[in-house]
Amino acid sequence: MSRVCTICGKGPVAGRTIARRGLAKKKGGVGLKITGVTKRRFLPNLQTVRIILKGSPRRVRVCTSCIKAGKIKKA
C-alpha cells in the first residue's frame, strides 16, 4: 500500500535531521556544532476514508488537507 493521496498525489518527501551540540552564542556559549546529519522521510497525514468516486462508494487513502478543503464527498 503506497503512502500517496488519491486526490492530490501528495507523497513522502525526503529530508535530513541535524544533530547539534554546544551552547548557542546568544546564550553565552561558543556556538552550536553539527555532529551528525541523517536522512529521514516526511510522510503525509493520510486517512482511510469512504468516499463516492465515479458514482460508487470506495475506501481510499486521502490526506487531511484534501479532507479539510472539501475536495472529497464522503459516502
Could you report the per-residue pLDDT of 22-75, keeping only the tens digit for each?
999 999 999 999 999 999 999 999 999 999 988 999 999 999 999 999 999 998
Residue 3 belongs to some domain of the structure: no
Residue 47 belongs to some domain of the structure: yes
Residue 47 amino acid letter: Q
Residue 4 has pLDDT above 90, yes or no: yes
The predicted model scores a pTM of: 0.75
Residue 8 belongs to some domain of the structure: no
**How many whole angstroms separate alpha carbon 51 and alpha carbon 5?**
13
Residue 4 belongs to some domain of the structure: no
Indicate the DSSP class of residue 25. Answer: G
